Structure 1
Amino acid sequence: MIEEPVHGGIVGQAAALFAVTNIDDIVLLALFFARAAGRRGALRIVLGQYAGFTAILVVAVAAAFGATFLPDDVLPYLGLLPLALGVKAAWRWWRDGDDGEETAPAGGPGAMEVAAVTFANGGDNIGVYVPVFATSAGGLGDVAVYAAVFLVLVAVWCLAGRFVATRPFVARALSRWGHVLLPVVLIALGVLILVEGGAFGL
């Protein structure tokens, strides 16, 4: 009789924590989905999002229980990943012209590109998740609940990003400007991660 409300409370806390730390991902997902072609392109984005977020969880859980895959002073340099991908996308746009028709590879962004951006953008998430996991009263049991809720909500976030990208007004805007917005957002995200983390003494 006592366990159910406790787990119910953890589920609510996990959902709120995920929402607060991942709200910006919906914008990135909408941009990715706008560049995806067909179901296979959308599937690559979902797989990439799951791969990137799973990596975030693995690092956070390991750090919470004493193993450190990524030292704190390395996290700011994750900003190099979206920065590099943004520069690559900008170069492709500049090379192919400004009509936006030839800027995306067949099928849209690859799963590894999405995973890299998701992981890099999750550096702050790791810093938030580690103390939450480390201080959970239920230990690994509570952490498992957090992880399960997070992974379910990744699917919800993908659906939300797809929904936003397919609204008529948004779809028209992204169709016209998505090839410009994607590199701009990725480069800005990379610079923001580097600056906020103090990389290179910034």
Structure 2
Amino acid sequence: MNVGIIGQAAGLFAVTNIDDVLVLALFFAQGSGHRGAAGNIAIGQYLGFAAILAAAVAAAFGATFLPEGAIPYLGLLPLGLGIKAAVGAWRHRGDDEETRAEQGGPTMLVVATVTFANGGDNIGVYVPVFATAGAGGMSVYVVVFLVLVAVWIAAGRYFATRPVIAEALSRWGHVLMPIVLIGIGLLILVEGGAFGL
């Protein structure tokens, strides 16, 4: 196995997914104290990223499930989830931290949806790389990416459990999560030129 391609794959993953660490840290903070939340977050992250890889691999072989013009509209998913989270935060603005903690952690589907929507633009980056790497090189990229998803999950959990960060996230996470999701949604829509933006 070529060490150079492993390094290229690791670099490409890091550059295209750096923002996921913050989102994962927020999910872990939101799920703190909820049984099964860490598993839901990890599985949701893998499901969302597997969907990104499946779309990129299929497109590299010439089959496109998502027309290129549809990718910017994936921003509607985190935007909608962010608005829903903002409404929930507003409704429970008077609740103390303990009451907010009882409201439940993130679901697998929410994590997968945010991961896929946030990485939708990555598909456009991965397709030409996969297409030129050939089947063998593409396999290396996919394996390296899937290993690094676990590293990203661990990093998100690590940041969410550092005392200073954990305290800030438990205190402000219910406000930060909607802001981050709405920001990601708007960024995807604007950068992709959705609705003529």
Contact 1:10/1:142 (<8 A) preserved: yes
**Could you tell me how far apart the structure 1 residues matched to 2:120 and 2:107 are?**
21
Change (3 A) 1:142 1:181: same
Of stretches 92-101 and 139-148 in structure 1, the one that deviates more from structure 2 is 92-101
Q: Which 5+ residue runs of structure 1 have no aligned equivalent?
A: none
C-alpha deviation, 1:105, in angstroms:
7.0
Q: How many residue pairs align between the two structures?
A: 195
CA displacement, residues 13-48 of structure 1 (integer Å, 9 cap, x when unaligned):
111110111011000000000001345101100000
2:38 pairs with 1:42: yes
Give me the CA root mean square deviation. 1.4
Q: Which residue of 2 is the match for residue 73 of structure 1?
A: 69
In the TM superposition, 1:3-14 aligns within 5 A as: 4=1, 7-14=2-9
Over the matched positions of the two proteins, sequence identity in percent amounts to 68
**Structure 1 residue 98, shift from structure 2 partner:** 4.0
Kept after mapping to 2: 8 A contact 1:92/1:103: no
Q: Distance in 2 between matches of 1:143 and 1:100?
A: 49
Verify the 8 A CA contact 1:100 1:179 in the aligned structure 2.
Answer: no
**Deviation at 1:133?**
0.4
SS state of the match for residue 36, structure 2?
Answer: helix
Query: Is the 2:27–2:41 Cα contact (8 Å) retained in structure 1?
Result: yes
Supply the AA of the counterpart residue of 1:108.
G
TM-score for both structures, normalised by structure 1: 0.92
Find the aligned partners of 1:104 and 1:61 in 2 and give their Cα distance: 39
Query: Hey, what does 2:123 align to over in structure 1?
Result: 126
Any gaps of 5 or more consecutive residues in structure 2?
A: none
Higher alpha-carbon deviation: 186-195 or 106-115: 106-115
| Post-superposition offset of 1:107 | 3.8
Give 2:146's aligned residue: 151
Q: CA deviation at 1:96?
A: 1.9
Segments of 4+ moved more than 3 angstroms: 98-107
Aligned pairs (5 A) from 1:89-104: 89-99=85-95, 101=97, 102-103=99-100
Kept in 2: contact 1:93–1:100 (CA 8 A): no
Q: In the alignment, what sits opposite 1:161? A: 156
Q: 90-99 or 62-71, which moves further after superposition?
A: 90-99
